[in-house]
Amino acid sequence: MLKKLSPEKLEEILETGIEIFAENGLHAAPMASIARQAGVSVGVLYKYYANKEDFFRSCLRHSLDSLEGLLREVTSKEDKLLNYSRQLIRALQSFSALHPSHIRMYHQITVSSGEAARLLASEIEGLSSRLYTRLISQGRESGALRRDMEPGLFAFFFDNLLMMLQFSYCCDYYKARMELYCGGMPEDSAVEEQLLRFLESAFTFERSLVPHGDSRGENR
């Protein structure tokens, strides 16, 4: 009779799966390698998971639970968007350092195509898209944020910055790209402060308050 695996062992198996999916993608990741690295047999994996796609979904859900918990913790108390942003940047920097394979797995997912890609995007981005759109809408309505913006698009741009920040800590190409722009890998504190300044300008200065020059450099 197959011995039931402990919750700790099941978590270890999922973390191993995330690591291998991050390196190989869903289709090229061999279940045999996952089982061997996790110290179990392939038969044990298929006792708990119907197939590789089912196992991948479990790995993804395991990772998303961590990220969703992080988002809920950061936004559990009512605050201004820029204060949320500071906490989010710090939390994502920490998450990227502790779980780089999770971020690389998301990066692999971004090259998916077809209906599967749409379903994965909905599952992964659903919470953050709703959360950021709501926070931006509330800030706009209260007057804390600029009023001349469309919350959905600004939420999309905001999340793009945070997503690319995570890739820049964990994915070799994006890490090299960051070093190229910054002349080396910047300190986390410098990234935090500069990104907050960028966000403050984006979210608080309305177009009517910013001088716009014409083709001759004259203000309009």
* Digit-coded pLDDT (tens) for 104-146: 999 999 888 888 888 889 989 998 999 999 999 999 999 999 9
Q: Is 213 helix (H, G, I), strand (E, B) or coil?
A: strand
Instruction: Calculate helix-pair angle for 100-109, 7-28, nearest 10 degrees.
Output: 40
Write out the residue range of the structural domain in which residue 108 sits.
Answer: 60-205
**What pLDDT does residue 212 have?**
61
Do 84 and 196 form a contact (C-beta atoms < 8 A)? no
pTM exceeds 0.85, yes or no: yes
Q: Cα–Cα distance between 33 and 38 in angstroms, integer?
A: 8
In a domain, 138, yes or no: yes
CATH number assigned to the domain comprising residue 199: 1.10.357.10
In a domain, 105, yes or no: yes
In a domain, 92, yes or no: yes
Q: Is 106 helix (H, G, I), strand (E, B) or coil?
A: helix
In a domain, 49, yes or no: no
In a domain, 51, yes or no: no
Count structural domains, the chain: 1
**pLDDT tens per residue across span 157-176:** 999 999 999 999 999 999 99
Q: Cα–Cα distance between 95 and 92 in angstroms, integer?
A: 5
